[in-house]
Amino acid sequence: MWGIWSLVLLVLLLVISCEEPLYKVDAPNQAGVSLQVRQVAVDQRAHRLYASNTTMKAVDIYDISEAAAKFEKSIPLGVEPFGIVLAPDLGKLFTGNSDSTLAIIDVAPTSSRTDRLLAKVPTGGKTRADLLTYDIRERKVYLANPDEGFVTSVDAIRNQALQRIDLAKGLRQPRYDPADGMVYITDADSNLLFQVDPRRDALVQKWTVPGTCLPAGFAIDSKRQRALIGCTTPGMQLTLLWDLAHRRLLRRFPQVGQAEQVIYDPAVDRYLAAGSSGGSSALAVFTGDPVTFAGSVQTQADSRAVGYDEAHGRFYVPTAKPGEGGLIGGPLPTGEAQYPVSWVLIMLSVPLVLLGVIVFFYGRRRTREGAAGGSPIVT
């Protein structure tokens, strides 16, 4: 009997020791709405998270000054925003929009116009402007028009379009590399990686990504000249490590696929890839040196965007589940795929129920046997 109760105690301890890895951050103005959020940007100094909310045609702002984020407000744009990038030195936020424009928002804390739309810069395209990056050296924004196959350089100070750079259809994530001063752009349709020189606003060279990666998400560790590439090949879980200095593939990772947004945070020396694993949305984390798979968590968010709060060590992914608006947050995963505690409780409750049934029938049997045998007569 002691063995049974020891097992029960062990299971209870496992349940108690389970730490809830995820929590929900509600957005009151989005209750009951099924959201689509393309990307997330984080201002570490101002402790704010920005999300491009295509459903509400707005940029959502979350306060991350505390351990758990809080919804602050939405900035209406009147068009659907897709890509989003921050220029912290200028106090500006940029989004690529459905009407082929670049929206410019004042987010400087001391500005009298903070959290207001300053301007919209046309790219000259007919379809959506999507993902983008900011070159802090030249102070330019590079914005991709994926359906028309060109990138537009924009003067981030004067808010003026400068140059159209024709590349190829299917452009995804542009990333500025401060180490070599170049801008790199993934192309999922052509399976290519482009290199653009911001000083000349011209294509320098391009490389074919090995295999059938169809690259989308892209993040650069400029110090080590490495990049993590999210592959979007249907039905495949694949993430690649790319050597920027020698233009070659270093390693393949099968833990996560379909990563639309990949970021690198030097403060924790980690790559974060928002994609899918096992048919469900997941966040995978990779160490910086050496680059290895550190862990993943099933977010159940149905989105491919991620931001990281350095001050509190929390990741945030926007939720696109039907009828739910807001964020899902938690600590970085440190092992193989983690699941919400509710799943763990369900899995652990099954053996507990079976154990209870066994104990119940065992007790009834002993009671019946005792009743049938009677008791000794004391004389």
Distance, CA of 87 to CA of 324 (rounded, Å): 30
Query: Does 16 have pLDDT greater than 50?
Result: no
Which residues, in sequence order, are CB contacts of 260 under 8 Å at separation 6+?
Answer: 172, 216, 217, 230, 232, 274, 275, 304, 305
The maximal CA–CA distance of the chain, rounded, in angstroms, is: 112
Could you report the per-residue pLDDT of 277-306, keeping only the tens digit for each? Answer: 999 999 999 999 999 999 999 998 888 999
Q: 340 and 300 in contact (C-beta within 8 Å)? A: yes
Q: Sorting pLDDT into bands at 50, 70 and 90, what band is 322?
A: confident
DSSP 8-class letter at 77: -
Query: Does 370 have pLDDT greater than 60?
Result: no
Q: What percent of the chain has pLDDT over 90?
A: 77
Could you report the per-residue pLDDT of 143-180, keeping only the tens digit for each? Answer: 999 999 999 999 999 999 999 999 999 999 999 999 99
* Residue 126: CA count within 13 A, CB half-sphere: 1
Task: Break the chain into its structural domains and give their ranges.
Answer: 22-33+212-348, 77-208
Please name the helix (run of DSSP H) or strand (run of DSSP E) that holds residue 346, with its range, or none.
Answer: helix 341-373
Q: Sorting pLDDT into bands at 50, 70 and 90, what band is 321?
A: confident
Could you report the per-residue pLDDT of 194-249, keeping only the tens digit for each? Answer: 999 999 999 999 999 999 999 999 999 999 999 999 999 999 999 999 999 999 99
Exposed e or buried b per residue across 237-272, where buried means at least 16 C-beta atoms within 10 angstroms of its C-beta: bbbbbbebeeeebebebebbbbbbbbbbbeeeebbb
Could you report the per-residue pLDDT of 132-144, keeping only the tens digit for each? Answer: 999 999 999 999 9
Instruction: State both tokens at 146.
Output: 């994926």
Instruction: State both tokens at 328.
Output: 């899902």
Q: 271 and 288 in contact (C-beta within 8 Å)? A: yes
**Domains 22-33+212-348 and 77-208 fall in the same CATH topology:** yes
Instruction: Of 222, 225, 218, 212, give the one whose Cα is nearest residue 304.
Output: 218
Which residues, in sequence order, are CB contacts of 246 under 8 Å at separation 6+?
Answer: none
Distance, CA of 152 to CA of 164 (rounded, Å): 5
On average, the pLDDT of the chain sits at: 88
Q: What is the mean pLDDT of residues 20-28?
A: 84
Side-by-side strand order, sheet with 150-155: 132-135, 140-145, 150-155, 160-166
pLDDT for 4: 52
Q: Which residue has the tokens 């994609």?
A: 275
Query: Does 335 have pLDDT greater than 80?
Result: no
The CATH code for residues 77-208 is 2.130.10.10
Q: 172 and 185 in contact (C-beta within 8 Å)? A: yes
Specify the pTM. 0.85
- What is the length of the chain? 379
pLDDT for 29: 77
End-to-end CA distance of the chain: 33
DSSP 8-class letter at 306: -
**Omega within 30 of 0 (cis) for the link into 290:** yes
Could you report the per-residue pLDDT of 241-259, keeping only the tens digit for each? Answer: 999 999 999 999 999 999 9
If you compute the radius of gyration of the chain from its CA atoms, what whole number of angstroms results? 26
Q: Among 3.90.930.60, 3.40.50.2000, 2.130.10.10, 1.20.120.80, name the CATH number for the domain at 22-33+212-348.
A: 2.130.10.10
